[in-house]
A = this chain, B = another copy of it.
Amino acid sequence: MDQEKLLEELVHPADTKMILVVLDGLGGLPLPEREGKTELEAANKPNLDALARASELGLAHPVLPGITPGSSAGHLALFGYDPTKYVIGRGVLEALGIDFPLEPGDIAIRGNFATARFTPQGPIIVDRRAGRPSTEHTVAVCRRLQEEIRRIEDVEVFIRPVKEHRFVVVFRGSGLDPRVADTDPQEVGVPPLPPQPLAPEAEKTARLATIFLTRLAEVLREEPATNFALLRGFSQRPHLKLFGERFHLKAAAIALYPMYRGLAALVGMEVLQVKEESLASQLAVLRQSWPDYDFFFFHVKATDSRGEDGDWEGKIKVIEEFDRHLPQIMELKPDVLVITGDHSTPALYRAHSWHPVPYLLYSRWARYHRDTAGFGERDCARGALGHFPMLYNMNLMLAHAHRLVKFSA
C-alpha cells in the first residue's frame, strides 16, 4: 500500500503537542580545522547534547542516497509528502518566496532580466542577468512594467520584483497550463528560445508568454541593460491534500523567510506573524500560540546561509545560539520534539549536498542510547533510528505523539 495513504488511515486524534524544528541545511562535513568534527559536532551545545542522550538519533535522506534536494523537496519530505511525487516548480517557489498570494490555477513564472541586442531577425541575448542590476532598479522596472501590462487577452498579469535581476510573473485566468518550455538559451550570443508549448493544452499560456515578452521589450526599449527577460519554471501550485486534514492536526508555522512560510501555507499550515527577525522573537510567538495548535513547524534559516557562505565558524555559532534557546522550548514540555534539517549544507561544500541529515527525536517513548556523545552526524549514523527516508518523519512524530492506531489485526 502507498505509504501516504496507509499513514492517513491510521491517524487518530490525541491531546499531544509536537514541535518540528528545522535548522536549515543542518548536516555538515568533517572539518580538518576542527579535528575532523562537523559543524554540529564542533559546536559547544550542552543542551542539545543532553537532549540527544534522551532521544532517538538517526540520519535521514530527504529524497534518496546521493540526491541533493532543493528546499521545497526537503520540506515536503519533512511534512510527510513524497518529494518525488509532488514537485513544486521554480515559478511557484519564487512566488512563495515573495509572499505572493498564489491562487490555485495561477501560472507562476520565474523571470530573469537580461540584456538583448535587437536585430532584424529578432533579439540576441548579450547578458543573461542584465549585468546584475540592483534590487532597487528591478523594483522600479517591475513597477513600470506592471503599469503598462495589466492584462493580456482575458488574463490578468502580475509582475513582482524578487532580488537583483530576478522577478516573478503570474498569469491568472482560464485555459492556462504550465507545460511551457523555458526560454533561457543558457548561453549568450544566441537568440532566446521561444516559450514552446509542451502539450496542446498549453498553447494559450505559451502565446501569452510570447506576447508578454514582446510588450516587455517595447516598454523597456530605452533601458541600457534591463531591456529583455528570460522566463523559466512555468508552474502551478501542486494539488496537495492539506496537512491538517491528513494528520488531524492544527498546525502552525513559525518561519522568518517567505519561501518557508510559503511552503507551510501551501500544505495548509497557519503561518504566524513574527515581529522581529530573531530567534527570541520566534520563540515568543511559539510561547504565545502554544495553547492554540498541536503541531509547530519552527524554521531557522541561518545554518544554511552560513553553510552556503563556507563560514563554518558562523554555522557553529548559529547552532550554539539555538542551543542557548533550547531550554525555552523544553519548558513548554512538548510531547514530541524533532530537531533536524531539510538537507545538508556543509560549510566545506558551500552548497546544498546529498549527505543525509542529522535527526533527533525526543519523546517519552524514545529508545535512547545511554552512550551517546551528543547530537552529531557520527552519533546519528549509529543511532537508534539508523538511516531512513525523511518521508517517515511524520510517521515517527505521530507515533510518538500517540496519534497512530495499530496497523491491521
Q: Which residues of A pack against B, CB within 8 Å?
A: 1, 3, 6-7, 10, 29-30, 35-36, 38, 59, 63-73, 83-85, 87-90, 93, 233, 346, 348-349, 352-355, 365, 367-371, 377-378, 381-388, 392, 394-399, 404-409
Contact = CB atoms under 8 A, between A and B. Distances in A.
22 contacts: A1-B84, A6-B67, A30-B368, A30-B370, A38-B367, A59-B384, A64-B392, A65-B385, A66-B398, A68-B407, A69-B406, A70-B407, A88-B408, A88-B409, A348-B365, A353-B365, A354-B395, A354-B404, A378-B384, A381-B382, A381-B383, A381-B386
Contact of A352 (B63, B68, B233, B406): B406
Q: Which 6 pairs show the lowest CB-CB distances between chains A and B?
A: A66-B395, A386-B387, A66-B399, A73-B408, A65-B392, A1-B84
Contacts of A83: 407-408
B407 A63 contact: yes
Given A30-B367, A399-B68, A84 B406 contact: no
Nearest to A388: B65
B67 A407 contact: yes
Nearest to A71: B409
Given A68-B405, A381-B382, A387-B388, 4 more contacts: A36-B370, A64-B392, A354-B396, A378-B384
A382 B71 CA distance: 29
Contact of A67 (B38, B90, B386, B404): B404
Contact of A66 (B63, B65, B346, B404): B404
Given A93-B409, A386-B386, A399 B368 contact: no
B85 A1 contact: yes
A280 to B, nearest CB: 31
A30 B371 CA distance: 12
The quantity of this chain's copies bound in the complex is: 2
A73 to B, nearest CB: 4
B385 A382 contact: no
Given A30-B370, A387-B386, A64 B408 contact: no
A368 B68 CA distance: 19
B70 A406 contact: yes
A64 B3 contact: yes
A97 to B, nearest CB: 10
A139 B65 CA distance: 48
A30, A38, A59: residue with the most chain B Cβ atoms closer than 10 Å: A30
A35, A65, A90, A395: residue with the most chain B Cβ atoms closer than 10 Å: A65
Contacts of A70: 406-409
Contacts of A36: 368, 370
A38 B56 CA distance: 14
A310 B6 CA distance: 29
Nearest to A5: B84
A164 to B, nearest CB: 18
Nearest to A92: B409
A384 B386 contact: no
